[in-house]
Structures are given as C-alpha cells and as structure tokens.
Amino acid sequence: MSSHEPEPHSEFDVPPLTETIAPGTASDPDVTSAETATVTVDGQEVEVEAGSTLLDAVEEVETDEYVPALCHYDRQDIGPRSECRTCMVETDEGVVPACSTPAEDGLDVSTDAAPASEARDVNLDLVLSDHNLRCTTCGKNGRCDLQDVSIENDVEEPRYGVLDDRDEYEPIDDTSDFIQIDRNKCILCNRCVEACNDVQVEGVLRMEGHGGDTRIGFQNGSDTMEGSTCVSCGHCVTVCPTGSLVEKGIEDATTIPLPGFNQKNSVGKVVESADVEKGPMTPMKRDQVTETTRETGGDEERDWP
C-alpha cells in the first residue's frame, strides 16, 4: 500500500447502533379527539374523524381567514408541537392553537375573531424576528413556507424587526457534502429534529440552548454537520419549512441571478469542510426499531435496539 493511500477504517470508526439518543417527539402530548366530532367552523358544521384536531376541522371548510400552521407537518407523525402558534383560533374556551387542540363535539370555532387574528399576526411577526429575510439570496426563494405565509398575510414590515436588524448572524455550516445548515433562517419549528429522531431514527439532530440562544445542534456534541453522525438521508431537508436546511448543489437554485450574489457572500460567514477523510456513515437504524420500542414513549432518553 502506498503511503499516500488512505488506510481502511477500523471497526471502531463505526458508531454503535445501541447509542443513546434523545427523541424529538416523545414528549408530544395526545392532542387529538377521542371520538368522531361535529365542530362548527365560521358557522359551518363539519364532522371530523376520531383523532382529529381543530386544524383538521378548519382545513375541511373554506374559512373566513387564512390560518397558517408553520410548525405543523401533516405527515409521518411529526408534531404537533404548537411551537409557532400561527394557527390560533377562537373557541368557546378562548383563543387556542388549532394544531394542538382536540376537535371536540359541539365546539364552535371562529377564525376571524379579532383576538385570534391578532394572535396569529403577532406570532408570525415573532417568527419573522428570528429569521434572515434575505429571500433574494436564498435557495428556497419561491418555495418557502414562511415566505408563502408572509405573502398571504400581507406582511410588509414585521413589527419586531428581523434578524438582519440585530447583526447576529451565525456562520453557514457548509461542511457536509450533502446538507447545508443556515441557522439564520431557522424558525425552531422542530420538524427536522422529529424527522431525524422519531421517523428516520438516526439520532443526529437536537435543539440545544435556551431562550434566545436555542438552535439546531447535534446529539454527539459536534460543532458542524461534518462532525456529526449524519447519514445524509435528507429527511430533515424535506420537512424544513424554510431555507435553513437545504440540499447541497441546489442551495442557490432560486437565488436571484445577479452575478456573485448569493447567501454565502450575503451573510459573509461560512464554515467550510475541514477536507479530512470521512469515516463510514452510520448504518440506517429505522428497520431495527421494534414496535415494542415505539410503544414505549415517555419523555426520557431511550436506548434504541
């Protein structure tokens, strides 16, 4: 073997499949109805199946006002987390998040009540205040859920400003060959963490920090995607509602085509790959999760088999 040839990886390079991971959704409460229910939404009666939420009922009719739900992902058992609270509606019991309130029989829901409408607007502005609004340099421009919701709500100037006003940019994590992370666009919806830990069962991502310092991190404590145990399945990218997680190669796909004008030089801070030889990816664990383990639930860390 030439001295310049890489040495084969030893068996110790492969993370054990029995590693402990903190699940993303294990603490999600049961927020669905126990039985079939008839709910009135803006004066229209709608019958929904057992297991439905008020958001399911709202989506069954043409409502008086637009009710977004940015942190909600209506597939793959992701959420609801009731994180963004952009889906507030008024009921007999007050203003509640539609995504995490059970659809109970006889409940009267109003989407155009002033308190609910104001709550949705305020919460959307709060989400925007933590977001990089440099849409023209973003590869998700034109296919971003947050952008769609903002346009639908005629947002012209968020009342709490935007991330750009505070000059607190984090470097773009461009170290992975497959996935780029731009935390300046993250709205902390938790979709990616749930997709990684509870659906794909890879145990790579986590939310770390507290309050205004909360951010996407890695369960192995790595500072970069390159140093994490990511297997590059791309599930986190699929569920991300903004340009925070994007597939490499198309990260500038919808950037306004001005020469030399993209998110990297717009933000100006990028962490590049260390260009070191990468070890073998962590084997997929999804097929090894038994039904018994899935039923365990709980809000404590679990040892996956």
Residue 265 phi/psi, 5-degree rounding, is: -80, -15
> Looking at the predicted structure, is the pLDDT value of residue 10 above 60?
no
| Least reliable range by pLDDT among 138-142, 186-190, 193-197, 266-270 | 266-270
Residue by residue, DSSP assigns 139-158 as: TTTTS-HHHHHHHHTT-SS-
> Looking at the predicted structure, is the pLDDT value of residue 305 above 50?
no
pLDDT recorded at residue 16: 44
> Looking at the predicted structure, is the pLDDT value of residue 73 above 50?
yes
Tell me the mean pLDDT in the region 238-250: 90
Most trustworthy range by pLDDT among 94-103, 127-136, 291-300: 94-103
- Secondary structure (3-state) at 40: strand
Q: Exposure pattern of 69-104 as b/e (b: 16+ CB <10 Å)?
A: bbbbbeeeebbbbbbbbbbbbbbeeebbbbbbbbbb
Give residue 303's pLDDT band: very low, low, confident or very high (50, 70, 90).
very low
Residues linked to residue 21 through DSSP beta bridges, in sequence order = 302
- Secondary structure (3-state) at 218: strand
pLDDT tens figures, 175-200: 999 999 999 999 998 899 988 988 88
Tell me the mean pLDDT in the region 22-31: 60
> Looking at the predicted structure, is the pLDDT value of residue 293 above 80?
no
Q: Are 138 and 256 a contacting pair, CB within 8 Å?
A: no
Q: What is the mean pLDDT of the chain?
A: 80
Q: What's the Cα-to-Cα distance from 236 to each of 68, 182, 219, rounded to whole Å?
A: 21, 13, 15
> Looking at the predicted structure, is the pLDDT value of residue 226 above 80?
yes
**pTM of structure:** 0.77
Tell me the mean pLDDT in the region 154-176: 85
CA pseudo-torsion sign 140, 119, 76, 188: positive
